[in-house]
Amino acid sequence: MQGVVLGRPHGRKSRHVKLSGREQEIQSLLDKHISKSAIGRILGVNRMTVAIFLKERMANFSQV
């Protein structure tokens, strides 16, 4: 299998992530000064998933 490109195309990410639709819940936890690691445990995801979600998605959410 020579020359076969594996994985998703460069620059493409899924529009739906594990935390989509839970922005208000995450924001309320952040308002209570709960850490990203603790939020990850509460929601059943890795802390890095929470951190990336906050960086990429919540910046737009908090401005609304």
Residue 62 structure tokens: 């908090």
In a domain, 54, yes or no: yes
Q: What does the pLDDT read at residue 36?
A: 94
Rg for the chain, CA atoms, rounded? 15
53: how many CB neighbours lie within 10 A of its CB?
23
- What DSSP letter does each residue of 25-59 carry, written as one string? HHHHHHHTT--HHHHHHHHTS-HHHHHHHIIIIIH
Divide the 64 residues of the chain into consecutive groups of 10 and give the mean pLDDT of each group: 73 68 90 95 92 81 51
Q: What does the pLDDT read at residue 61?
A: 59
In a domain, 10, yes or no: no
Domain limits at 56? 23-63
pTM over 0.95: no
Q: What does the pLDDT read at residue 56?
A: 82
Q: What does the pLDDT read at residue 64?
A: 42
- How many domains does the structure of the chain reveal? 1
